[in-house]
Structure 1
Amino acid sequence: METIKNILQDGAASAMTLEQIINQEIDEWFGSSERCLMLDGERYYNGESDVLDKERLVIGEDGEQVEAENVANNKLVHNFSRKLTDQKVGYLLSKPLSIQTDDGAYGEEWNNIFNKSIRRLIQNVGKECINKGRAWMHVYYNQNGEKGYRLK
């Protein structure tokens, strides 16, 4: 029985601290394929497609591939990702919410909550979600006790 107690104590002493666990999770996130796909989605939305990085290559005199300097390398970028994303967000989230209630004060309070700035923030969350696969909005209270929102 003493050996089991020693094993448990040794295991507890060698456990990771909360800071080490958080750092490990962050490191795994930065190296994850999901994050790379999210960054690609953002790049494409901003009009930075992969065609801009491609070079026209030819075989040089020494047999190695070199960039062709005497050939036109025109690149026409169509930002369809931005257009399709904006259309989808406009279709899904552009109309104001319709709140129906028998109590007029209650409905007015809901309309105050879902004002123009919140609707714009919800549209931005929709854009982020379409481009990156997931997005969310944090609700918080500042030092003055005022409610605020932050897009993540």
Structure 2
Amino acid sequence: MTEREFLEREIGRWLESPSRQMMITGQLYYEGEQDILFRKRTAIGQGGRTEEIENLPNNRVVDNQYAKLVNQKADYLLGQPFVIRGDNAEYVRALKKVFDKGFMKLLKNAGKGALNCGIVWIYPYIDRRGDIRFKLIPGYELLPFWKDSEHTELDKAVRVYRICGYEGKTPVLVQKAEIYSPEGVERFVLENGRLVPDT
């Protein structure tokens, strides 16, 4: 089995895994897409079977207390700006340039994502101007491969996400896959469970 075939199998298993489905459910609950929206009003009918009642109102109100509590906890834990102090003024100034208000907002959003999904990833990278930037990746988009059993060092990671693309003039959802390793980032399109190099 080649490494690409191994990754295709692992990605396929992970996309259907219960843990990933729970991450997606947590995010959907936060966004207000909750189970109450799919509830049907039922009663016991003939023969003791449950039947849907069509002639009575089936009011479904989303009172998103879950999102309120997630926001409250994130505000409590990460709402205040952190203080950077040190003896070397130049070093402190350089750190403040990196860990600015934008980073603090990203950190707060990472806290919300961790509360919803159980895990979230912050990917540091260098932009075109040579500045360090950070990208927030939800837990349901990234499959880690660890070097050790304690999960302290990554061997590689696979990010799977969807974007809107076009086939001719028709909009379609395209599933992309990026493989992050010490050698760099490889980009693929995931088609029918196969990794096809993205051109």
TM-score above 0.5, yes or no: yes
Q: Does 1:40 align with 2:41?
A: no
Alpha-carbon separation, structure 2, partners of 1:142 and 1:69: 57
Q: Does 1:133 align with 2:118?
A: yes
1:143 deviates by 4.2
In the alignment, residue 22 of structure 2 is paired with which amino acid? L
Q: Give the secondary structure class of the aligned counterpart of 1:139.
A: strand
Report what 2:66 is aligned to: 81
Q: How does 1:60-79 map to 2 (within 5 A)?
A: 65-79=50-64
Q: How does 1:1-152 map to 2 (within 5 A)?
A: 16-58=1-43, 65-152=50-137
Cα distance change of structure 1 residues 143 and 106 upon mapping to structure 2, 3 Å threshold: closer
Q: Give the secondary structure class of the aligned counterpart of 1:55.
A: coil
Alpha-carbon separation, structure 1, partners of 2:47 and 2:11: 46
For residues 94-129 of structure 1, the C-alpha deviation after alignment (integer angstroms, 9 at most, x for no partner) is 111111212222211111111111111111111110
The answer (yes or no) to whether the contact 2:71–2:112 under 8 Å persists in 1 is yes
The answer (yes or no) to whether the contact 2:39–2:60 under 8 Å persists in 1 is no
Q: Give the secondary structure class of the aligned counterpart of 1:25.
A: helix
State the 4+ residue runs in structure 1 displaced beyond 2 angstroms.
57-67, 142-148
TM-score by length of 1: 0.81
Q: Give the secondary structure class of the aligned counterpart of 1:48.
A: coil
Alpha-carbon separation, structure 2, partners of 1:55 and 1:137: 40
1:54 deviates by 1.0
Q: Which structure is richer in relative contact order (CA contacts within 8 A, separation 6 or more)?
A: 1
Alpha-carbon separation, structure 1, partners of 2:70 and 2:49: 41
Which structure shows the higher helix fraction?
Answer: 1
1:30 deviates by 0.8
Gaps of 5+ in 1: 1-15
Cα distance change of structure 1 residues 142 and 109 upon mapping to structure 2, 3 Å threshold: closer
Which structure shows the higher strand fraction?
Answer: 2
In the alignment, residue 42 of structure 1 is paired with which amino acid? Q
Q: Give the total of aligned pairs.
A: 137
Query: Between the two proteins, what is the percent identity of the paired residues?
Result: 36
Gaps of 5+ in 2: 138-199
Alpha-carbon separation, structure 1, partners of 2:29 and 2:61: 14
In the alignment, residue 123 of structure 1 is paired with which amino acid? K
